[in-house]
Amino acid sequence: MRPLPDRDSRQTGGMSDVTGRMLSLLATLQTGRSFSGEELAARLGVSPRTLRRDVDRLRGHGYPVETRPGPGGHYRLAAGRTMPPLMLEDDEAVAMLLGLAALAARGSADEGSLDEAATRAYGKLEQFLPKRLRPRIGRLRTSLETGAAAGPSPSAEDLGLLADAIGDRRVVAFDYERKDGAVASRRVEPHRQAHHLERWYLLGWDLDRGDWRVYRVDRISGLRVSTSRFEPRPAPADTAIEYLASGMNRDREPVVITVDAPARAVADAFRHDNVELEPLSEGRTRVRLRLETWEWPLLGLAFLDADFGIEAPERLREGFRGFAERLGRAVDG
């Protein structure tokens, strides 16, 4: 059972606020002044007990907080230590390393690509961590293997430039490679970046077409951020992911598959597909998806090794029937 947080953590919202509170404590101590325990507790809105815990956390992260007990006692940060290591909890450091490892394993490994940048960051993480975390991260690194997954990789520089343009509301221009291989110039008001099904996308208002468009970031080249600013427009959907999915589904037909398998197993079988899962019982799950062709769900269904029923338009049902007949003849033949 997970232990209950202390009273102050419950009041302020949990671990994320503990980290925020420690940053506030650190910023206060970095002024160079000495503070009494009562003064610091009042500034942070916590009890003296929680303050002592936060001071111990800072020390655990490598920050030399000096304490003088008794009347006239105080807390202060030793001089010359204003840039200590990253303030990460143990699980946060593990998550960061695993995230970098997973990101580094997917892509082209080309110079300047996002996965290549993740590989470099993966090798530098330890030197920015507190000493107490370095042995665990070192052991995790030596115990970890990741399988490479080739695929298009966006430029880390382009993702950063697009983030700047979105924040500053500046028009961007770039060359865009379409599906047919042709390259066209685009001028866009960037709105959001989105990561969906192992791809990075840009949602923006195309100034030449006068409409919202979605662009694969790995197909963008020659990205330029102009000095022209724009006023934000009402978004075409609540989220960029929602708009992206609606565009992908525009020419697809709805299919409902009811599988005699638990939702966790079904989710794993369809982990690379854009599906909605509805648990019907402990061992039965409804899958909703949209298909261009009938072939897409077959591999996931085969790996589930469970009975299922399909509700689909007749065009797709014909494809399923034809495949079943060919498979039957192959097995009997």
CATH code assigned at 205: 2.30.30
Residue whose entry in the numeric block shows the structure tokens 């507790």 = 41
Q: Is residue 108 part of a domain?
A: yes
Give the domain extent around 61: 7-77
Of 248, 265, 281, the residue at which a domain comes to its end is 248
Q: Is residue 2 part of a domain?
A: no
Strands 308-311 and 253-259: antiparallel
The predicted structure's pLDDT at residue 315 = 93
User: Does 167 lie in the same domain as 127?
Assistant: no
Predicted confidence (pLDDT) at residue 153 exceeds the cutoff of 80: yes
Residue whose entry in the numeric block shows the structure tokens 């509301």 = 169
Q: Is residue 85 part of a domain?
A: no
User: Does 286 lie in the same domain as 229?
Assistant: no
CB 175 within 8 A of CB 185: yes
Q: Is 135 exposed, middle or buried (0-12, 13-18, 19+ CB in 10 A)?
A: exposed
> What is the SS3 assignment for 82?
coil
Q: What is the pTM of this model?
A: 0.64
Composition of the chain by helix, strand, coil, percent to 5: 40, 25, 35
| pLDDT tens sequence across 295-314 | 999 999 999 999 999 999 99
CB 291 within 8 A of CB 253: yes
CB 88 within 8 A of CB 129: yes
User: Does 236 lie in the same domain as 266?
Assistant: no
Q: What tokens were used for 169?
A: 């509301």
The predicted structure's pLDDT at residue 134 = 85
Q: Is residue 82 part of a domain?
A: no
The domain spanning residue 33 has which CATH number?
Answer: 1.10.10.10
Q: Which backbone phi and psi does 130 adopt, to 5 degrees?
A: -60, 155
Q: Is residue 168 part of a domain?
A: yes
User: Does 35 lie in the same domain as 16?
Assistant: yes
The predicted structure's pLDDT at residue 34 = 87
Q: Is residue 209 part of a domain?
A: yes
Averaged pLDDT score across all residues of the chain: 86
Which residue from 238, 241, 247 is spatially nearest to 290, judged by alpha carbons?
A: 247
Q: What tokens were used for 83?
A: 């840039």
Going by pLDDT thresholds of 50, 70 and 90, the confidence category of residue 6 is very low
Q: Is residue 149 part of a domain?
A: no
CB 151 within 8 A of CB 108: yes
The predicted structure's pLDDT at residue 196 = 87
User: Does 264 lie in the same domain as 236?
Assistant: no
> What is the SS3 assignment for 219?
helix
Q: How many domains does the chain have?
A: 4
CA 325 to chain centre: 43
User: Does 121 lie in the same domain as 39?
Assistant: no
The predicted structure's pLDDT at residue 9 = 42
Query: Residue 140: in which H helix or E strand, if any?
Result: helix 134-143
Of 98, 117, 143, the residue at which a domain comes to its end is 143
Going by pLDDT thresholds of 50, 70 and 90, the confidence category of residue 3 is very low
Q: What tokens were used for 159?
A: 């993702």
Highest-confidence range of 45-49, 130-134, 276-280, by mean pLDDT?
Answer: 276-280
Of 248, 278, 294, the residue at which a domain comes to its end is 248
CA 47 to chain centre: 35
User: Does 257 lie in the same domain as 244?
Assistant: no
| pLDDT tens sequence across 222-273 | 999 999 999 999 999 999 988 888 887 777 899 999 999 999 999 999 987 8
Going by pLDDT thresholds of 50, 70 and 90, the confidence category of residue 13 is very low
Going by pLDDT thresholds of 50, 70 and 90, the confidence category of residue 11 is very low
User: Does 312 lie in the same domain as 230?
Assistant: no
| pLDDT tens sequence across 165-199 | 999 999 999 999 998 899 999 999 999 999 987 88
What's 127's DSSP letter?
G
| pLDDT tens sequence across 46-97 | 998 999 998 988 888 778 888 887 777 888 887 655 455 566 778 888 999 9
Question: How would you write 141-177 as a 3-class SS string?
Answer: HHHCCCCCECCCCCEHHHHHHHHHHHHHCEEEEEEEE
Predicted confidence (pLDDT) at residue 207 exceeds the cutoff of 90: yes
Q: Is residue 287 part of a domain?
A: yes
User: Does 179 lie in the same domain as 160?
Assistant: yes
Q: Cα separation of 148 and 150, whole Å? A: 6
